[in-house]
């Protein structure tokens, strides 16, 4: 009975090791949870940069005047896309290897299709999980890709034309004075 302590009356050094034991257990669990949440956040960052790049390249191709040219300057559009994709550092967990950028279509065809692809080395914890799902290639890399198709002109523009002169002529032809 002499060793028993009454509730609410204990010496400070009797329970001082409890927090240390809890921390030893919780710190590794918190680190694993942080790593599990880190990889999807990094993939989302890559996806956002790829989306913005695809939209900007489509806008670049849409505003290019293809009339009177033998070929569309896809090299310029691809270089522009690669320059935009440099926002993602060449760190294996963000981007590893080369970017693949493929652009098809132009203003004359009425639509643009862009394909962007790259590889990412997943964090070790997720690499094991993804390896079971057969989503990794032979080098243990995850492929992240984006395909976008943009139609360049609305039906109104296709019916009347793209030149403002054609719009005025169309309006004058419908006027009440004719």
φ and ψ at residue 116, rounded to 5 degrees: -125, 135
Residues 6+ apart with CB under 8 A from 157: none
Over 90: is that where the pLDDT of 58 sits?
no
Instruction: Please report, for the chain, the start and end positions of each structural domain, with discontinuous segments joined by +.
Output: 27-172
82: nearest Cα among 106, 119, 117: 117
pLDDT recorded at residue 12: 57
Residue bearing the bigger pLDDT, 85 or 112: 85
How would residue 72 be classed by pLDDT, with cut points 50, 70 and 90?
low
């Amino acid at each position: 009975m002499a060793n028993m302590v009454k509730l609410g009356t204990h010496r400070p050094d009797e329970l001082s090791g409890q927090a240390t034991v809890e921390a030893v257990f919780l710190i590794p669990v918190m680190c694993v949870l942080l790593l599990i949440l880190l990889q999807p956040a990094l993939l989302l960052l890559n996806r956002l940069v790829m989306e913005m790049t695809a939209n900007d390249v489509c806008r670049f191709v849409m505003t290019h005047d293809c009339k009177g040219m033998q070929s569309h300057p896809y090299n310029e559009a691809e270089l522009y896309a690669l320059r935009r994709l440099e926002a993602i550092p060449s760190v294996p967990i963000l981007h590893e290897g080369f970017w693949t950028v493929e652009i098809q279509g132009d203003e004359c065809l009425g639509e643009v299709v862009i394909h962007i692809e790259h590889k990412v080395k997943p964090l070790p914890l997720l690499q094991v999980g993804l390896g079971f799902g057969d989503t990794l290639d032979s080098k243990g890399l995850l492929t992240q890709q984006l395909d976008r198709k943009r139609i360049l002109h609305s039906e109104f523009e296709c019916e009347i034309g793209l030149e403002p002169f054609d719009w005025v002529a169309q309006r004058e032809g419908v006027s009440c004075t004719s």
